[in-house]
Every structure is written in C-alpha cells, then in structure tokens.
Amino acid sequence: MKSGIYIAAALTLLACMAGETRALENFGGSLRLIGSSQSSPAADLRSFDQQYQVHYSRHLLPLLLANVAVSYHDLQTFPAQGDRNWHGEFQPSADLSWTSPFFTAGANYRYRETRDLVAVNNSLNRGAGAYLRTRFTDLPQANVTFDWNRYVSHSGFMPLDSEERRLQAGLQYARRVVNLRYTYSHRDFENRVDGSRQVHQQHIVRTDYSDNFINQRLRLAGSYLFSYNLREESSSQSALPLSLIPALQGLYALDNSPGLGELDTLAALVDDNLNQVTIPPVDIGGANIYQNLGLNLGLPRPVDHLFIYTDRQSDPAVAWTVYTSDNNLDWTVHGEGVSQLYNVAAQRYEIAFAAVTARYLKVVNTGINEEPQVFVTEMQALLSSEALGTLPGESANHRATVSTSYQVNSTVRLGADAVLGSLVENSTGQERRDASVAGTATYRPTAQFSVVGRYQQGYTEYRNELVQPQMNKAASLTVLGQPLKTLELSLSGSYQETAEDQVVQQVTKSSLARASAQLLPGLSAITEAGFTRGLRPAQDQVIDTWSYRQSVEAFPYASLNLTAGYGVQWYSSNQAYSANRRDETDLRLTWRATASIHLRGHLTYAREDANDNFSQDYSLGWHLTERLSANAGARFFQTDTGYSTRSLSLQTAYLLSSRTNFSFGYSQNRIENSQVEETTTYQAGFNTSF
C-alpha cells in the first residue's frame, strides 16, 4: 500500500529537520499503538492497532495560512484458526485559507483510502473544495462554497462508484428590524456502477421582520419563506438506484411496547449530518434494545429502504423490525420481504423491505450488540427505481408567519400568531395547504404566581384522494406558584383533538401536577403525577395512562451525592383484557472519597407486568500517584427470564510525560441466555504526541 511510503517519508522529513527548532514548531502529530488478546469459547483473537498522525501549519504570508496533515490507521487481527485479517486507512489532507478584514477565502483537498483483506470492504474517497465569505459591515454578506467528492465502494445494497459536486451560494442583508436572505444550492450526483444520476437544485428566499412599539410594550414579528426544489433523476433500464425521500421530522422513543405509543421529535436524526451524534444521543450498543427510530414524511409516500447511520462500526447481528403508522400512535409491523445488512464502508444499517406507502415509519432494534456503545447519527428513507415515477421532481414551498404580543399592564400579557403555508409537487399533483392560528394569555400578579393559557387551531388539506383534510385543536393551561422560598408547585392540563374530513379521529386529554421542595439544607424532593386519556371514537377505543414519579436528592457532604427515585406508569384500554404497568426504582451514588478517589454507583430495578429486570453499574477512579491512575468498572444486568450479562473492566495508565503514556486494560463480558458466552480481553497501549 502506498500509504506506508507516505508515512515513512513524513517521519523521515521530521527526523532530518530535528536540528531546525524553528521549523519543528510548525509540526505536530501523534502516535498510538494498541495490542490486545481476546479469548472466548468460540475462538481466540489477537490484534494490533496502529494509528499515526502528522500535521504541519504555517503562515506563508501574513494573511495566508497553510495546513497539511497525514494520518494512517492499520488494524491487524490474528484469529486462532484461519487467516489473519487486515484493515487500513490512509488520509492525507491540505488546505489554504486567506483571512482579511473584508473577506475570508480558502481551498482544501482530501483523500481517504480504505483497504481490507475482504475486498468488498475497500473504499476510496477523494474530495476538494473552495469557499469565499465576505465580511463587510454595511453591505450584504455573501458566501460561495464548492465541494467535489469521488467515492468508490462496493458493499451494501447500494454499491457506489460515484462523483458528487455541490455548489452553494448565499446573500444576506440585515438591518435593525429586517433580515433578508437568499440561498442557491446545486447538487449533481452520479453513480457510475448503474449509470444513475441525480441533479438537485434549490432556491430559498427568506425575510424576517421584528420591531417594538409603544415603549417596548407591543412587539410585532413576521417572516416569509419560499423554497423551490427541482430534482432530475435518470438511470439505465436495468438499474435499481435508490433515491432519498426527504423527511419532515425525525422521531424517537425508548419503548418496549412498540405497537402502541407516540414518538417524540428528534430533529438531529434528519439534519443531513452523517457524522455527528444526535442530541440527545441514542445508544444502540450492548443491551440497549427497543430504541424506536422513526420518520415523519409529511404525507403518505412509498418507501422500500431505511438506512440507520452510526458513529462507529456496529454489530451486523442486531435485528431491526419495521413498523408503519398513519397517526404516530398505532403501529403495524411491516414484515414483507425484510432483509438487512451492515455496510462497513458507509457505517450504516441498510434495511430493505417490500415497498409500502406510509406517512410514519420506524424501526426497533432487538438482540445484543457486541459493541458496548454505538450512537446513531442519521436516519434516511429511500425508494428504488421501481417506483421513481411517484417521487416529486419539482416542488415549491411557501410559508408565512405573523406574531404579536402586547403587555397590557404589569400583570397581563397577550399574544397571537398565525401561520399559512403550502407545498406543491408538480410531477405527482400532490399539494398540501396548511394554516393555523393561536392565542396566548399570561397573568403574573406576583413573581411567585403565574397563569399561562394557550389555544391553537390548525387546518391541513391534501389535494390527494388518499388523504382527507385534517383539523387540529389544542388548548392548554399552566399554573405556577411558589408559596414558600423552598417550595415550587405547578399544575397543567391540555386538550388535543384531531379530525379528518370533519370526523373526530383522536382526542387526548392530559394533566400533570408537580411539586419541588427544599426539605432541609442539602435535601430536596420532587413529586410528579400525571394522567392522560386518549379517545379514538371511530374505533370506540379509550386508552388511559397514569404516571407517578418521586425522587429525593441529598448532599450530606460536599463530596457525597445520593439520589433515590421511584416511578410507575400504567395504561389500560377498554379493548384490552389487562392493564400494562411498569414500575422502576433507582438509586445513584457519587462519592469523592479523597482528592484522588472517585466512586459512582447506579442501581435500577424495573418490573413490567410479570417481567423483572435488575441492573447495577459501579465505577472507581483512583489517581494513585501523579503519574499512575486506574479506573475499574462493573456492570450487571439480569432478568427473570434467565437472561443476564456481566461486564468487568480495569484500565491503568502511566504518564511518562504530559504527552506520553502507557496503558493496560482488562475486560470480561459474560452473557447467559440459552447458553453461556464469555469473552476475556487483555489490552496494552502506548500513546504520544508532539
């Protein structure tokens, strides 16, 4: 592999310049070596991991900065039986940036080559880009970005030998009360494996207005957004390319009863950032099962593939179940033609199934992930070319908002807002129009008491015979009080109604009471109780959900923190024979015994109907000397069905200097189900940087 030559040349250059102190000030780098030995009843495995990185940074001119970096990763594994495995990555990069008082400009080049003894996992990624951003004070701000990528990979459902070009240009002008923005983007994507090509153009115009009147008592704000999208796709007659279907919202919930339940919005799941972990994070590693990951497509669309991206390589054996819904509440398993794999090169799960038309889709993971911690970064819905004719080739979106608020007097504030929007997809005849109005009233006679009420009504119409017009109503009332400095109380209630074609489909009524008290110095408690009733008149269905949560937190000493909590949630339905109940008790301890010893513990006992599970998590951190430190951990998980896991770990590190250390690690993982699986791993490492 040529990468070894480049690395050797870079290190030789550094050695030759050892006497040039001034030149070395511009260099930096790191070296990481890790060797491990793993044993289990199934097989023994040894591995050696090498990671090298060198970077150089220097001002060629007072305003011109150059950066060059080279990194190399080599991972070799040696199973007790069979041939060795090898995986290598070579990544050089370079960029130039010019920074002046009036503009910034730059250019970059990227190269990433991945090699594997399993040839199908090989990939090559090359890219280059340039940008220009103006920095004028009283003139419109302009920015232009161009990016080119060439990617070759032959793994997964969608093999690629692709070339992608992206151009984005924007103009923004802001004054005291008005902000104007225009953005144009052009993306040209070509897959040379099957001859498919996608060209996507987008124009976005947005204006925002905000100002105050009558001595700051009256506030007016408004905005208008127009976006125009043009998508052109072509492919050979025999090709089955996958086309991305834009999602309106990402959805998420942790729910071990995935057949019934609403998912919350998770915007980071569909933010087009394949490398950034979602916030809040979703961990599908280890025994973190029943993670519900979903998409709201805005209206019913045909889908036959779902991609789940991860921040690192994950276990291919994790199983995914596909669900569909028309209301984000009742979910139906879609089991026709489901198959899945894990694409190592793209770091994603690829789930294929028979094409289904749905507005809401989700997947739920089951089975133990051999990787202890894996976070989700993105989720995508796709459709093969068999149904490309149903995808919008051209769409236009208009959305206008107006809001106002008025401070009537020192205790009363009124507010109102309205939204009007439309989405037109010319190639399919799909058209969606929506409008909503809302009013808010706040009454705050004292700093310790307030009442907030809000009412909202919305209407959505689809120009499609498959979707009926929808009307939504929502009302809420919240009362907050602080009768004592150490006591806070809140009581809230809400009502939501959804109707289709003037026929009520779903009604939700909920209430929540909460009390927070400082009982003693260093001792506080929180109590919450809630009730929700869901009605589905068309099915003559009533679902009641009760919840209660009590937690106590104590700080008997500055170094000791104790938290205890108990929660219960149960729901019943007039169409179910029995109620579903979940109880959970947890205890947490954090203790800094000395300046160098830190202990943590977490116990959780959960019971759902007749199923019990108990988890324990302990950790100890100890700085034995200024140079020597150790961390130990233990995790236990057990269910009454006979399934249990045990994880033990020990990590030690010795500092040779502030930038160099040796490390040693030991871990043991044991899984008991129908059979016992136990894996023991020893690991030694060396890290340094300059």
Inter-residue contact 680 to 671 (CB < 8 Å): no
How far, in Å, CA of 102 to CA of 120, rounded? 48
26-35, 51-60, 438-447, 455-464: lowest mean pLDDT where?
Answer: 455-464
pLDDT of 503: 86
- Nearest 10 degrees: CA dihedral of 254, 258, 260, 261? 20
Structure-derived torsion over alpha carbons of residues 114, 116, 121, 124, reported in degrees to the nearest 10 = 20
The pLDDT assigned to 11 comes to: 46
Segment (H or E) for 16: helix 2-16
DSSP H/E element including 25 = none
What pTM, to 2 d.p., does this model score? 0.75
What is the β-pairing status of strands 291-310 and 249-254?
Answer: antiparallel
305 forms bridges with which residues in the sheet?
352, 382
Mean residue pLDDT of the chain comes to 86
Q: Which two tokens stand for residue 365?
A: 């993971």
Q: Is 361 in a helix, a strand, or coil?
A: strand
Give the pLDDT of residue 316.
85
When pLDDT is cut at 50, 70 and 90, the band that residue 157 belongs to is low
Query: Residues 587, 615: contact at Cβ < 8 Å?
Result: no
Helix intervals (H) in 321-394? none
Is there a contact between 580 and 545 (Cβ–Cβ < 8 Å)?
Answer: no
Q: What is the CA radius of gyration of the chain?
A: 29
Residue 672: per-residue pLDDT = 81
Give dist(CA 227, CA 202) in Å, integer: 7
Mean pLDDT to the nearest integer, 501-507: 84
The torsion angle over the Cα atoms of residues 513, 517, 522 and 523, rounded to 10 degrees, is -60
Percent of the chain at pLDDT > 90 equals 53
CB pairs under 8 A, 24+ apart, for 507-512? 507/534, 507/535, 507/537, 508/532, 508/533, 508/534, 508/535, 509/533, 509/535
- Which has more pLDDT, 353 or 153? 353
Range with top average pLDDT, 7-11, 40-44, 525-529: 525-529
Q: What is the pLDDT of residues 207-253, one digit of tens each?
A: 999 999 999 999 999 999 999 988 776 765 444 567 778 787 899 99
Residues 507 and 500: their CA atoms lie apart, in Å, by 12
Distance CA(383)–CA(305), nearest Å, equals 6
**Structure-derived torsion over alpha carbons of residues 306, 309, 315, 319, reported in degrees to the nearest 10:** -30
Rounded-to-integer distance, Cα 365 and Cα 362, Å: 10
Pairwise pLDDT comparison (151 vs 252), residue with the higher score: 252
Is the link from the previous residue into 316 a cis peptide, with omega within 30 of 0?
Answer: no
Interatomic CA distance for residues 278 and 270, integer angstroms: 9
CA distance 201 to 435: 27
Other C-beta atoms within 10 Å of 646: how many?
16
Q: How far apart are CA 562 and CA 560, in angstroms?
A: 7
Q: Decide if pLDDT at 621 tops 90.
A: yes
- In this structure, how many other beta carbons lie within 10 angstroms of the beta carbon of residue 301? 23
Pairing state between β 394-407 and 376-384? unpaired
Higher pLDDT, 317 or 185: 185
CB distance 376 to 190 below 8 Å: no
* pLDDT given for residue 581 in this prediction: 82
The residues, ordered by sequence, that sit 6+ positions from 219 with a Cβ below 8 Å of its Cβ are 210, 211, 212, 213, 404, 405, 406
Count, residues in the chain: 690
Euclidean distance between the first and the last CA atom of the chain, given in angstroms as a whole number: 26
Residues facing 312 on adjacent strands: none
Q: For residue 308, which of 289, 281, 284, 337 has the smallest C-alpha distance?
A: 284
Beta bridge partners of 395: 229, 425
In angstroms, the CA 329 to CA 292 distance is 12
Residue 140's contacts (CB-CB under 8 Å, 6 or more residues apart) are 171, 172, 173
pLDDT in tens, 545-573: 899 999 999 998 889 999 999 999 887 87
Find the mean pLDDT for residues 602-625: 90
pLDDT band at 580 (very low <50, low <70, confident <90, very high): confident
pLDDT at 3 over 50: no
Give the pair of three-digit tokens for residue 373. 């911690």
Residue 465 clears pLDDT 70, i.e. is over it: no
What residues have CB less than 8 Å from 625, skipping those under 6 apart? none
SS3 of 232-264: EEECCCCCCCEEEECCCEEEEEECCCCCECCCE
CA dist 526 and 548 (Å) reads 11
Q: Which of the pair, 39 or 119, is modelled with greater confidence? A: 39
Q: pLDDT digits over 310-326, tens only?
A: 988 888 889 999 999 98
Query: Is the Cα torsion angle 383, 386, 387, 393 positive or negative in sign?
Result: positive
The confidence score (pLDDT) of residue 181 equals 95
Q: Which residues of 320-333 are buried (b: 16+ CB within 10 A; e: fewer)?
A: bbbbbbeebbbbee
pLDDT above 90: residue 196: no
Q: Measuring CA to CA, which residue among 64, 75, 70 is closest to residue 93?
A: 70
H or E element that contains 6: helix 2-16
SS3 684: strand
The 10 Å Cβ neighbour count of residue 648 is 16
Residue showing tokens 């959960």: 606
Residue 387 clears pLDDT 50, i.e. is over it: no
Express as a percent the part of the chain with pLDDT over 70.
89
Q: Any idea what the Cα angle at residue 45 is, between residues 40 and 51, rounded to 5°? A: 135
Q: 340-355 burial, b for 16+ CB within 10 Å, e for fewer?
A: bebbbbbbbbbbbbee
Lowest mean pLDDT, pick from 162-176, 487-501, 674-688: 674-688
- Give, as one character, the DSSP assignment of residue 311: S
Question: How many beta carbons lie within 10 A of that of residue 212, not counting itself?
Answer: 13
Nearest to 513 by CA among 486, 544, 488, 484: 488
pLDDT of residue 589: 95
Preceding amide of 280 cis, omega within 30: yes
